[in-house]
């Protein structure tokens, strides 16, 4: 039922007036085996098709499935657009070079060309996906702050959210941009989706590795947060070491086994600011902390603690668990395990 990417690119049409859109998916991932994500797809389609949201951010941990979800999404809504472009920002293009590329893409079928990108977004129905946005953010500081040479992006995205047009820009990132939080607060046409692990469908990943003891699968999925990439890696380990027996794997490991996950976890934690590092290490051996709690580290002020927690939430590392009126925040056991291992 799904058309392959090559089918898509061959469906180029000379004008956007007929129903097949002009598509550039060179930077997009291939449509591989994809397990439902029905509710996320429904939400995104609602935001785009019904609410006409102009700027959408999808953020979440590396490998959680953001790009694949978006790839699946555009497969389902492509007939609604005249133009569709996917651009990865992992090579850190300056804003002017990105704008040039977009301009060229739109201009191939739109003559005479229009003066600005916003003009194209207004004139046609365009869907632009900007993936790997976190590459434009500073490392070692609070989450979602642009690198010095990339601050203009903030203004560009603000224009996209504020100006009237009939298009949609989707940002994909490890971290929720700080400036997006401000835009949301101002109630502009912007929405944010925090993508989390797979629920019941995570079992399909374990099935694809032909693991056994399916009664133990929910436990394994819970341990690894339903994170598709982590589960794929752990499933390979279970095949290598335990001939696919989930029971054996769970019974032998006292702590949560990290193995090949370490470098992946490392690459995300090394982006934390000093302040966040100090706060997160306080989570090493406890379940959750409350905002009302005084910082255990006497060198931390209350406001430093709150900024750090806010930033860790924007990275998808800490999760708010509702406990009545009090804000309680929790670090998932995988990260606790990683910290214990690193700090021991």
Ligand X SMILES: Nc1ncnc2c1ncn2[C@@H]1O[C@H](COP(=O)(O)OP(=O)(O)O)[C@@H](O)[C@H]1O
Long-range contact list for 94-101, CB < 8 A, 24+ apart? 94/149, 94/150, 95/150, 95/152, 95/153, 95/156, 98/130, 99/156
**Binding segment toward Mg ion, per CB under 5 A, in 38-46, 63-71, 186-194, 313-321:** 63-71
What is the distance between the alpha carbons of residues 319 and 198, in angstroms, rounded to a whole number? Answer: 16
# chain residues binding Mg ion, by CB under 5 A: 1
Q: Cβ 80 to Mg ion, closest distance in Å? A: 23
Question: Which of the choices Mg ion, ligand X, none does residue 153 contact, using the CB cut-off of 5 to 8 A by kind?
Answer: none
Q: Point out which residues bind ligand X (CB under 6 A).
A: 29, 33-35, 37, 62-68, 198, 228-229, 232
3-state SS assignment for residue 190: strand
Q: Cβ 114 to ligand X, closest distance in Å? A: 31
Dihedrals φ, ψ of 220, to 5°?
-65, -45
Q: Cβ 90 to ligand X, closest distance in Å? A: 11
Find, among 65, 26, 30, 18, the residue nearest to 44 by Cα.
Answer: 65
Q: Cβ 132 to Mg ion, closest distance in Å? A: 6
Find, among 225, 229, 227, 95, the residue nearest to 151 by Cα.
Answer: 95
The residue (of 21 and 63) whose beta carbon lies closer to ligand X is: 63
Question: Which of the choices ligand X, Mg ion, none does residue 285 contact, using the CB cut-off of 5 to 8 A by kind?
Answer: none
* 72 touching Mg ion, by CB under 5 A: no
Dihedrals φ, ψ of 325, to 5°?
-85, -20
Q: Cβ 180 to Mg ion, closest distance in Å? A: 18
* 124 touching Mg ion, by CB under 5 A: no
Residues 190 and 56: beta-carbon distance below 8 Å: yes
The residue (of 34 and 156) whose beta carbon lies closer to ligand X is: 34
The H or E element that residue 131 is part of is strand 126-131
Question: Which of the choices ligand X, Mg ion, none does residue 229 contact, using the CB cut-off of 5 to 8 A by kind?
Answer: ligand X
The residue (of 130 and 206) whose beta carbon lies closer to Mg ion is: 130
* 103 touching Mg ion, by CB under 5 A: no
* 311 touching Mg ion, by CB under 5 A: no
What is the distance between the alpha carbons of residues 279 and 297, in angstroms, rounded to a whole number? Answer: 8
The residue (of 71 and 165) whose beta carbon lies closer to Mg ion is: 71
User: Sign of the C-alpha dihedral, residues 142, 29, 37, 78?
Assistant: positive
* 167 touching Mg ion, by CB under 5 A: no
Question: Which of the choices ligand X, Mg ion, none does residue 33 contact, using the CB cut-off of 5 to 8 A by kind?
Answer: ligand X
Question: Which of the choices Mg ion, ligand X, none does residue 62 contact, using the CB cut-off of 5 to 8 A by kind?
Answer: ligand X
Among 53, 57, 67, 189, which residue sits at the site for Mg ion (rule: CB under 5 A)? 67
What residues form DSSP beta bridges with 326? 323
Q: What strands lie across the sheet with 288-290, from one edge to the other?
A: 288-290, 326-331, 318-323
What is the distance between the alpha carbons of residues 292 and 196, in angstroms, rounded to a whole number? Answer: 26
Q: Cβ 90 to Mg ion, closest distance in Å? A: 9
Give the residues lining the site for Mg ion (CB under 5 A). 67
């Amino acid at each position: 039922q799904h058309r392959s990417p090559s089918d898509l690119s061959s469906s180029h049409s000379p004008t956007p007036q007929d129903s097949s859109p002009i598509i550039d998916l060179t930077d997009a991932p291939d449509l591989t085996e994809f397990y439902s994500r029905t509710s996320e797809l429904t939400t995104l389609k609602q935001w785009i098709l019904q609410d006409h949201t102009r700027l959408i951010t999808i953020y979440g941990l590396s490998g959680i499935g953001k790009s694949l979800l978006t790839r699946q999404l555009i497969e389902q809504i492509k007939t609604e657009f005249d133009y569709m472009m996917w651009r990865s920002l992992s090579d850190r293009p300056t804003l002017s070079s990105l704008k040039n590329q977009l301009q060229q893409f739109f201009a191939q079928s739109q003559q005479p060309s229009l003066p600005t990108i916003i003009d194209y977004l207004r004139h046609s129905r365009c869907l632009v996906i900007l993936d790997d946005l976190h590459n434009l953010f500073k490392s070692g500081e609070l989450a979602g702050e642009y690198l010095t040479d990339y601050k203009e992006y903030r203004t560009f995205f603000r224009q996209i959210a504020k100006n009237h047009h009939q298009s949609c820009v989707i940002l994909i990132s490890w971290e929720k941009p700080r400036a997006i939080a401000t835009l949301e607060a101002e109630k502009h046409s912007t929405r944010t989706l925090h993508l989390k692990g797979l629920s019941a469908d995570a079992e399909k990943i374990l099935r694809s590795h032909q693991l056994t003891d399916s009664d133990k699968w929910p436990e394994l999925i819970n341990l690894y947060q339903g994170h598709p990439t982590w589960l794929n890696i752990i499933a390979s380990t279970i095949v290598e070491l335990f001939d696919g027996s989930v029971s054996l794997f769970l019974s032998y490991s006292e702590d949560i086994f990290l193995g090949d996950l370490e470098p992946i976890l490392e690459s995300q934690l090394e982006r934390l600011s000093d302040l966040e590092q100090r706060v997160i290490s306080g989570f090493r051996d406890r379940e959750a902390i409350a905002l009302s709690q005084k910082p255990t580290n006497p060198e931390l002020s209350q406001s430093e603690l709150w900024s750090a927690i806010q930033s860790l939430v924007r990275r998808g590392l800490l999760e708010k668990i509702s406990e009545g009126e009090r804000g309680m925040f929790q670090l998932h056991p995988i990260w606790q395990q990683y910290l214990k291992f690193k700090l021991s």
